[in-house]
Amino acid sequence: MFDSLSDRLNGIFKKLKGHGKLTESNIEEGLKEVRMALLEADVHYRIVKKFVSDIKERALGKEVMASLTPGQQVVKIVNEELAALMGSTHENLRLAGPEPVPVMLVGLQGSGKTTTAGKLSIFLRKNGKRPFLVPADVYRPAAIDQLKKIGEQLSVPCFSSNLDSDPVTICLDARIAAQRQGCDTLIIDTAGRLHINQELMAELVRIKEALKPSDILLIADAMTGQDAVTIAKSFDETLDIGGVILTKMDGDARGGAAISIKAVTGKPIKFIGVGEKFNALEPFHPDRMSSRILGMGDVLTMIEKAQEIVDEKQAIALEKKLRKNQFTLEDFRDQMVQIRKMGSLTDLLGMIPGIGKIKELKNLDVDDREFIRIEAIINSMTSQERRQFAIINGSRRKRIAKGSGTTVQDVNRLLKNYTHIMKMMKKINKSGMRGMGRGMLPI
């Protein structure tokens, strides 16, 4: 996310920090580059103009000029203004009113509505809700079947509708079915079109009037840039949307839509889609996103991801093992499975502050398939081999490689990395490792 913009801005700020004292000329030159970087990131030109103007006003004040670290102060101002531009704080999904509470998903074809309906159901279930999927798209032949399959895959109930039904009737009948099944939230997957048209909008207005949804979320493709902003504006004018879910954010190196939508429409981005898996939906926090864009990381989101998957009892047990130097290959495998649940390694690295400044890691292409290979190798070992790796001799390595579909070199590399980690843990133990293991092992 935002790779191109982050690189440009970090280069600009590096120059500014290089000056012991900033002059008006230095600041104006830097802001001119910031302006160009934002325009190249496909941020709306009116937004860019006001944004740069606001920063300039603050940067030329005492806050910067009298500071001992003026460059750092400029970065701080940009961070604050960028967060404010995107909405300052996270806005939750509105779920008020009699249950089951309806939430409408709207948008054009291909924006990812149906998949997002599944992702949102998982998010709601994690937060104690009982979602019910409603396939109300009777125009795209595969839409109803797709949502039903998603429901089966995720064990989320889905209304059984058909192509001959009226979308409003489907939604009303689904509400009754959801009540009977004890569900408290309706996720309505509405029809999309290739382009915005009156027929599409009229149908959405009919559904809105009949169900009075608690929230209406526009599903927009982040990679379409300013088109996503224009689409958001059109849907908002007709439906008064409650917010936006930006999909395919993991593939958007520019980020113009994410930065512009709130400022142009006045409506917040509530979630972002950051991958194909059904758990790859994140609440959008403008302050955290601004921090990530400026290379400051996003530790809070990383902690939240870890907390979602870490069992406190297991964490305490792991800590004891690490203290006693009893961390086995079995534990090694289990920790990697936990890390995989948190998302791709590339995304996790991007959340670590300052990672973008380390040349060796900045353009590191982390192959998540390596985790799968390591897991296969460890699974091919016997229980005794996992607990006592020292017994793994040459013939055992050949057997393990054959059983896991890998090579002996792969097995050797894994054992070498494991012994390296064990040595590292031993050193940490000697110097004191209080609190280590309360979460994920930094493999």
- Work out the average pLDDT over 310-336: 69
Same domain as 66, residue 123? no
CB 238 within 8 A of CB 204: yes
- Work out the average pLDDT over 223-235: 85
Q: In degrees to the nearest 10, what's the CA dihedral of 378, 384, 387, 391? A: -90
Q: What is the DSSP letter of 68?
A: S
Q: For residue range 99-150, what is the model confidence (pLDDT) as tens digits?
A: 999 999 999 888 889 999 999 999 999 999 999 999 999 888 788 899 999 9
319 pLDDT band, cuts 50/70/90, is low
Q: Indicate if the pLDDT at residue 297 is higher than 80.
A: no
Q: Which domain holds residue 339?
A: 302-431
Q: Indicate if the pLDDT at residue 355 is higher than 50.
A: no
- Residue 438 included in any domain: no
Three-state SS letters, 383-412: HHHHHCHHHCCHHHHHHHHHHHCCCHHHHH
Q: In degrees to the nearest 10, what's the CA dihedral of 373, 374, 376, 379? A: 180
Same domain as 247, residue 110? yes
**Helices 408-431 + 329-341 axis angle, to 10:** 90
Same domain as 366, residue 238? no
- Residue 219 included in any domain: yes
189 pLDDT band, cuts 50/70/90, is very high
Distance CA 232, CA 224 (A): 12
Number of domains comprising the chain = 3
Q: Indicate if the pLDDT at residue 395 is higher than 70.
A: yes
- Work out the average pLDDT over 194-218: 90
Q: Report the percentage of the chain scoring pLDDT > 90.
A: 30
Q: What is the DSSP letter of 22?
A: -
Same domain as 125, residue 19? no
Same domain as 179, residue 53? no
DSSP string for 260-306:
HHHHHHS--EEEEE-SSSTT-EEE--HHHHHHHHTT---HHHHHHHH
Distance CA 113, CA 221 (A): 10
CB 162 within 8 A of CB 214: no
Domain end position, chosen among 85, 117, 144 = 85
Pairing of strands 101-106, 215-221: parallel
Same domain as 377, residue 329? yes
Same domain as 21, residue 136? no
Hey, is 428 helix, strand or coil? helix
Same domain as 107, residue 54? no
- Residue 237 included in any domain: yes
- Residue 367 included in any domain: yes
CB 293 within 8 A of CB 82: yes
DSSP string for 374-385:
HHHHHHTS-HHH
DSSP string for 166-186:
-HHHHHHHHHHHHHHTT--EE
Per mean pLDDT, which range of 153-167, 283-297, 336-350 is the poorest?
Answer: 336-350
For the record, the structure tokens of 19 come out as 């000056």
pLDDT score recorded for residue 288: 83
For residue 45, the domain's CATH number is: 1.20.120.140
Interior angle at CA 350, CA 76 and CA 283, nearest 5? 80
- Residue 78 included in any domain: yes
pLDDT score recorded for residue 364: 45
From the list 110, 102, 111, the residue with the least C-alpha distance to 136 is 102
First to last CA, the chain: 24
Domain end position, chosen among 243, 262, 296 = 296
pLDDT score recorded for residue 186: 95
pLDDT score recorded for residue 45: 85
pLDDT score recorded for residue 443: 37
- Residue 411 included in any domain: yes
For residue 310, the domain's CATH number is: 1.10.260.30
CB 259 within 8 A of CB 47: yes
- Work out the average pLDDT over 404-419: 88
Same domain as 112, residue 260? yes
Distance CA 243, CA 193 (A): 20
pLDDT score recorded for residue 430: 57
Q: Indicate if the pLDDT at residue 47 is higher than 50.
A: yes
| Of residues 36 and 318, more confidently modeled | 36
- Residue 422 included in any domain: yes
Q: Indicate if the pLDDT at residue 21 is higher than 70.
A: yes
298 pLDDT band, cuts 50/70/90, is very low
Per mean pLDDT, which range of 29-38, 75-84, 352-361 is the poorest?
Answer: 352-361
For residue 108, the domain's CATH number is: 3.40.50.300
Same domain as 287, residue 245? yes
CB atoms within 10 A of CB 360: 6
- Residue 49 included in any domain: yes
CB atoms within 10 A of CB 293: 25
Same domain as 191, residue 116? yes
From the list 245, 15, 3, the residue with the least C-alpha distance to 119 is 245
Same domain as 346, residue 390? yes
Q: Indicate if the pLDDT at residue 440 is higher than 50.
A: no
| Most trustworthy range by pLDDT among 292-296, 337-341, 348-352 | 292-296
- Work out the average pLDDT over 151-173: 90
Q: How many residues does the chain have?
A: 443
For the record, the structure tokens of 102 come out as 């309806």
Query: What are the CB-based long-range contacts (under 8 Å, 24+) for 96-99?
Result: 96/214, 97/212, 97/214, 99/179, 99/183, 99/184, 99/185
Q: For residue range 230-262, what is the model confidence (pLDDT) as tens digits?
A: 888 889 999 999 999 989 887 666 677 888 888
Domain end position, chosen among 279, 296, 313 = 296
| Of residues 50 and 330, more confidently modeled | 50
